[in-house]
Amino acid sequence: MRQSSVVNEWIDEGRRLANLEMLEAMLTTKFGPLTDANLETLRQLPDDRLKAMALQLLTAKSLAELGL
C-alpha cells in the first residue's frame, strides 16, 4: 500500500519529536535541567545534527561542548 506524502510527513514529524524527547531526556539526565534557551536551540537543530549530538553526548563534559 502506498502512503500519501501527507502521511509520510506526519511519520517523519513523529520520529523527529520522539528523537527530540529522547535527546532532551538524555541531556537532562547527564547535565541537569535545560534552560529555555537550550531547549529552543535544540528544537531548531536539523535532524542530522540531533543524531550527531546524541553520539557526542556519550563523551561530552558540558552542554557548551555540544553547542548548547
**Domain count along the chain:** 1
Range of the domain at 18: 5-66
Reported residue count of the chain is 68
Output the nine-digit C-alpha cell for 9: 510527513
- pTM for the predicted model, two decimal places: 0.84
pLDDT digits over 13-61, tens only?
A: 999 999 999 999 999 999 999 999 999 999 999 999 999 999 999 999 9
Q: Rounded CA gap, 45 and 39, in Å?
A: 10
pLDDT band at 63 (very low <50, low <70, confident <90, very high): very high
